[in-house]
Amino acid sequence: MTENTPDRARTRFPGISSRAYEHPADRSALVALRSLTGFDVVLRKMSGLFNERALRLTFLAGTVRAGEDQFRNVYDMVRDASYILDMPEVPEVFVRQDPTPNAMAIGSDHPFIVINTGLIDLLDDEELRFVVAHEVGHILSGHAVYQTMMQILIQLGSRLAWLPLGNIGIAAIIIGLREWFRKAELSADRAGLLASQDIDAVKRTMMKLAGGTRLTEMSSEAFLQQAREYDAAGDVRDGLLKFLNLLPQSHPFAVIRFAEIDRWAASGEYDRILAGDYPRRDDDGSASVTEEIRNAANSYRDSWERTADPFIGKVKDVADAAASAAGGLFDRFGGRRDNGPTSGSSN
């Protein structure tokens, strides 16, 4: 790709692997999928059900493609983020007239970015830079391809809804994919921060997505406190309601994203990557599925330990009790296998 010098000094990450910024739950799923022999063939077959060429032509006809002469500012941001994250190809970007503040990365062979005018109108340049880099991060991770799969399954599920049990299995898969994609959104937020290198702009973006443009009426500290209050709110019933509210969502709620990026920026991982300590794409083939699954499990456990949500606490208590019971059962039978039955036992 052509190297385009960023419009202000930022650290560049030559050869960076998406594993550097991916949330552990997202990363373990991606590493496992990438390691499956023949999965890329299946993926392309499924993607064939989704006509990327026709979709791109639709956007080419009905939106504005950013470039040297149209939405030059947005176009430069895409090139800038691609340069910093060392993307092999600069994706196309289309601006769509839609007041909903949203953006997306779609496609398989040549993913492209779509940004709604509602988002451009809502954000200042540094906030928009973060959003553009967020979408570039989706593409670098391959999320656009897997999101296409999810869209195919959603369409397939709607077609099978008339069957008594036809939609149940697909619905379960979609719920799982949505849980993964919510973690993928946290990954893309990290990519957005790495490319924009402006944590305040990232936080402002989350606050604007929740409360609009009147930042003078908002406080980042109060918003973070709001996130903590949401985490600990109510009793077990409220925790269950939060869980049910989240199930249909493709993105985590704004206060959750705000708290997560704040935690990651302060964790030391962000600073290590800025210092040049990050995994390279050349080593992706040797990534361990087992290790990444272990990292994902540790991440969920850590988040359970951090949360003050009483519902999660009850779930954790049940899970711990089940694990202890299972461990005792295995120890009991394992001891019998190792030592043989004890003579005169009354059990």
Q: Does residue 92 surpass a pLDDT of 80?
A: yes
Helix 125-141 crosses helix 72-84 at what angle (to 10 degrees)?
50
Contacts of the segment 272-275: beta carbons below 8 A, 24+ positions apart: 273/13, 273/16, 273/20, 273/21, 273/194, 274/11, 274/194, 274/197
Closest by CA to 64, choosing from 120, 107, 111, is 120
| DSSP track, 302-322 | HHHHH---HHHHHHHHHHHHH
Identify which of 154, 30, 167, 53 has the alpha carbon closest to the alpha carbon of residue 107.
53
Which one-letter amino acid corresponds to residue 90? Answer: V
Each residue of 224-270: pLDDT tens digit? Answer: 999 988 887 666 566 677 667 666 676 789 999 999 999 999 999 99
pLDDT level of residue 304 (50, 70, 90 thresholds): very low
Higher pLDDT, 303 or 254: 254
DSSP H helical ranges for 48-165: 52-62, 72-84, 117-122, 125-141, 143-159
Does 298 score more than 50 pLDDT? yes
pLDDT of residue 243: 67
pLDDT exceeds 70 at position 8: no
Those residues whose C-beta lies under 8 Å from the C-beta of residue 99, and which sit 6 or more positions away, are 116, 117, 118, 121
Q: How deeply is 156 buried, as exposed, middle or buried, from its count of CB atoms within 10 A (0-12, 13-18, 19+)?
A: middle
Bigger pLDDT: 252 vs 214: 214
Q: Is 58 helix (H, G, I), strand (E, B) or coil?
A: helix
From 22, 92, 135, 292, active-site residue: 135
Nearest 5°: the CA angle 168, 170, 175 is 95
The pLDDT tens digits for 168-190 are 556 666 666 677 778 889 999 99
**Alpha carbon distance 342, 329 (integer Å):** 17
- Which candidate, 201, 177, 179, 175, places its Cα nearest to that of 189? 201
- What confidence score (pLDDT) does residue 220 get? 95
Between 62-66, 196-200, 231-235, the lowest mean confidence (pLDDT) is in 231-235
Better pLDDT: 44 or 232: 232
CB 22 within 8 A of CB 141: yes
pLDDT for 312-321, tens place per residue?
454 444 444 4
- When pLDDT is cut at 50, 70 and 90, the band that residue 45 belongs to is low
pLDDT band of residue 5 (cuts 50, 70, 90) is: very low
Contacts 24+ apart (CB under 8 A), 155-160: none
**Average model confidence (pLDDT) for the chain?**
77
- Which contacts qualify for 257-260: CB closer than 8 Å, 24 or more apart? 257/185, 257/186, 257/189, 257/206, 258/203, 258/206, 258/207, 258/223, 258/224, 258/227, 259/224, 259/227, 259/228, 259/231, 260/186, 260/189
| pLDDT value at residue 325 | 42
> Are the beta carbons of 293 and 32 closer than 8 angstroms?
yes
Q: Is 261 within 8 Å of 202 (Cβ atoms)? A: yes
Q: Which two tokens stand for residue 245?
A: 């509210």
Does residue 191 contact residue 140 with C-beta atoms inside 8 Å? yes
**pLDDT, position 312:** 45
Q: Is 280 helix (H, G, I), strand (E, B) or coil?
A: strand
> For residue 182, which of 256, 123, 105, 108 has the smallest C-alpha distance?
256
Mean pLDDT (whole number) for 192-214: 97
Q: Does the pLDDT value for residue 291 go beyond 50?
A: yes
Would you give the end-to-end CA distance of the chain in angstroms? 72
Residue 64 pLDDT > 70: yes
* Contact in structure between 188 and 174 (CB atoms under 8 Å): no
Residue 82's identity, in one-letter code, is S
135 is catalytic: yes
